[in-house]
Amino acid sequence: MAKTSNLDVAYVARLARLDLTNAEIELFEKQLGDVLRYAEKLREVDVSHVEAAAHAVPIFNVFREDEPRDWFTAKQALSNAPRQANGLFIVTKVVE
Amino acid sequence: MTGKDLPALNIADLQFLLRRRQVSPREVLDALQARIEDVDGEINAYLSLDFEAAAKEAEKANIDLPLGGVPIAIKDIINVAGQPCTCASKILHGYRAPYDATVIRKLRAAGAIPFGKTNMDEFAMGSSTENSAIKLTHNPWDLSRVPGGSSGGSAAAIAADEAFGALGTDTGGSIRQPAALSGVVGFKPTYGRVSRFGVVAFASSLDQVGPVTKIVRDSALIMNAIAGHDPQETTSLNQPVPDYTAGLGTDLRGVQLGLAKEYLIEGTDPQIKAAINAAVKHMTSLGAEIIDVSLPHTDYATAVYYILATAEASANLARFDGVRCGYRAENPKDLLDHYGRTREEGFGPEVKRRIILGTYVLSSGYYDAYYLRAQKVRELIRQDFAKVFEKVDALISPTSPMPAFKFGERTANPLQMYLADIFTSPANLAGICGISVPCGFADVDGHRLPVGLQLLGKALDEARILQIAYAYEQSTEWHKVRPPMAAAMHKA
- The closest CB to that of A42, out of B303, B325, B340, belongs to B303
CB-CB neighbours of A62 under 10 Å: 11
**Per-residue pLDDT at A22 exceeds 90:** yes
**Per-residue pLDDT at B347 exceeds 60:** yes
Do residue B360 and residue A79 have CB atoms under 8 angstroms apart? no
3-state SS class at B23: coil
Do residue B349 and residue A24 have CB atoms under 8 angstroms apart? yes
Minimum Cα–Cα distance from A16: chain B residue: B359
- Our CA-based measurement puts residue A66 at a distance from the nearest CA of chain B, in whole angstroms, of 12
Residue B447 backbone phi and psi in degrees, to 5: -110, 145
> Which residues fall within 8 angstroms of residue B417, CB to CB, at 6 or more apart?
B126, B127, B128, B410, B411
Report whether B177 contacts B127 (CB < 8 A): yes
Would you place residue B487 in the very low, low, confident or very high pLDDT band (cuts 50, 70, 90)?
Answer: low
> Which residues fall within 8 angstroms of residue B69, CB to CB, at 6 or more apart?
B18, B24, B25, B28, B58, B61, B62, B63, B111, B113
Measured CA to CA, the distance from residue A35 to residue A59 in angstroms comes to 32
Do residue A47 and residue B307 have CB atoms under 8 angstroms apart? no
Report CA B354 to chain centroid distance, whole Å: 20
| DSSP symbol at A14 | H
**Per-residue pLDDT at A5 exceeds 70:** no
**Per-residue pLDDT at B89 exceeds 90:** yes
pLDDT, greater one: B488 or A63? A63
Report pLDDT digits (tens) over B41-77: 999 999 999 999 999 999 999 999 999 999 999 999 9
The residue type of B77 is: I
Which residues on adjacent β-strands are paired with residue B210? B168
- How much is the pLDDT for B474? 98
**Per-residue pLDDT at A72 exceeds 90:** no
To the query of whether residue B333 is one of the catalytic residues in this protein, the response is: no
Question: Got the DSSP string for B82-108?
Answer: TSB--TT-GGGTT-B-SS--HHHHHHH
Q: Which of residues 59-88 of A touch B (CB under 8 A)?
A: 59, 62, 64, 72, 76-77, 79-83
Report whether B338 contacts B327 (CB < 8 A): no
Minimum Cα–Cα distance from B316: chain A residue: A16
Q: What's the whole-number average pLDDT of chain B?
A: 96
- The mean pLDDT value for B98-109 works out to 97
What percentage of chain A has pLDDT greater than the value 90? 66
- How much is the pLDDT for B492? 45
**Ramachandran quadrant class, B272 (left: phi over 0; alpha: psi -120 to 50; beta: rest):** alpha
Report pLDDT digits (tens) over B378-393: 999 999 999 999 999 9
- The mean pLDDT value for B342-358 works out to 98
Size of interface A-B (CB pairs under 8 A): 178
Q: Which residues of A touch B85 (CB under 8 A)?
A: none
Number of independent structural domains in chain A: 1
> Which residues fall within 8 angstroms of residue B105, CB to CB, at 6 or more apart?
none
Class of domain B3-254+398-491: alpha beta
- 3-state SS, B102-169, equals HHHHHHHHCCCEEEEEECCCHHHCCCCCCCCCCCCCCECCECCECCCCCCHHHHHHHHCCCCCEEEEE
- How much is the pLDDT for B315? 97
- The closest CB to that of A50, out of B369, B370, B379, belongs to B379
To the query of whether residue B75 is one of the catalytic residues in this protein, the response is: yes
Indicate the domain borders of chain B.
3-254+398-491
- The closest CB to that of B324, out of A45, A89, A94, belongs to A89
pTM above 0.90, yes or no: yes
- The closest CB to that of B360, out of A12, A38, A52, belongs to A12
Measured CA to CA, the distance from residue B114 to residue B101 in angstroms comes to 12
CA angle B250, B253, B258 (to 5 degrees): 105
Lowest mean pLDDT among A57-71, A77-91, B227-241: A57-71
Chain A interface includes B459 (CB < 8 A): yes
Which residues on adjacent β-strands are paired with residue B199? B78
**Per-residue pLDDT at B420 exceeds 90:** no
Chain B interface includes A26 (CB < 8 A): no
What percentage of chain B has pLDDT greater than the value 70? 98
Report pLDDT digits (tens) over B130-151: 999 999 999 999 999 999 999 9
| DSSP symbol at B187 | E
- The closest CB to that of B98, out of A1, A34, A76, belongs to A76
Report whether B398 contacts B453 (CB < 8 A): yes
- How much is the pLDDT for B155? 98
- How much is the pLDDT for B431? 97
Would you place residue B1 in the very low, low, confident or very high pLDDT band (cuts 50, 70, 90)?
Answer: low
User: Which of B356, B371, B376 to probe by mutation at the A interface, max A CB count within 10 Å?
Assistant: B356
Instruction: Establish if A25 belongs to a structural domain.
Output: yes
Do residue B325 and residue A82 have CB atoms under 8 angstroms apart? yes
Chain B interface includes A45 (CB < 8 A): yes
- How much is the pLDDT for A4? 47
- How much is the pLDDT for B490? 53
Catalytic residue among B132, B150, B154, B314: B150
**Per-residue pLDDT at B354 exceeds 60:** yes
The residue type of A6 is: N
Instruction: Establish if A87 belongs to a structural domain.
Output: no
- How much is the pLDDT for B204? 96
- The mean pLDDT value for B284-308 works out to 97
Instruction: Establish if A18 belongs to a structural domain.
Output: yes
- How much is the pLDDT for B235? 93
Report whether B55 contacts B26 (CB < 8 A): yes
- The mean pLDDT value for B444-465 works out to 97
Measured CA to CA, the distance from residue A3 to residue B360 in angstroms comes to 13
Report whether B192 contacts B218 (CB < 8 A): no
Report pLDDT digits (tens) over B230-263: 999 999 999 999 999 999 999 999 999 999 999 9
To the query of whether residue B150 is one of the catalytic residues in this protein, the response is: yes
Instruction: Establish if A16 belongs to a structural domain.
Output: yes
Report whether B151 contacts B168 (CB < 8 A): yes
- Our CA-based measurement puts residue A37 at a distance from the nearest CA of chain B, in whole angstroms, of 10
- How much is the pLDDT for B489? 56
- How much is the pLDDT for B484? 85
- The closest CB to that of A81, out of B324, B339, B344, belongs to B324
Instruction: Establish if A38 belongs to a structural domain.
Output: yes
Q: Pick from B353, B305, B340: which is nearest to B121 by CA?
A: B353
**Per-residue pLDDT at A2 exceeds 60:** no
Task: Note down the domain range covering A34.
Answer: 4-44
- The mean pLDDT value for B294-311 works out to 96
- How much is the pLDDT for A1? 44
- How much is the pLDDT for B369? 92
**Per-residue pLDDT at B16 exceeds 70:** yes
C-alpha dist (Å) from residue B7 to B3, B207, B257, B453: 8, 30, 35, 25
- Our CA-based measurement puts residue B212 at a distance from the nearest CA of chain A, in whole angstroms, of 24
Instruction: Establish if A51 belongs to a structural domain.
Output: no
Would you place residue B486 in the very low, low, confident or very high pLDDT band (cuts 50, 70, 90)?
Answer: low
**Per-residue pLDDT at B396 exceeds 60:** yes
Chain A interface includes B108 (CB < 8 A): no
CB-CB neighbours of B276 under 10 Å: 24
Chain A interface includes B237 (CB < 8 A): yes
- The mean pLDDT value for B413-436 works out to 92
Report whether B272 contacts B488 (CB < 8 A): no
CA angle A41, A45, A51 (to 5 degrees): 125
Do residue A2 and residue B314 have CB atoms under 8 angstroms apart? no
- How much is the pLDDT for B3? 83
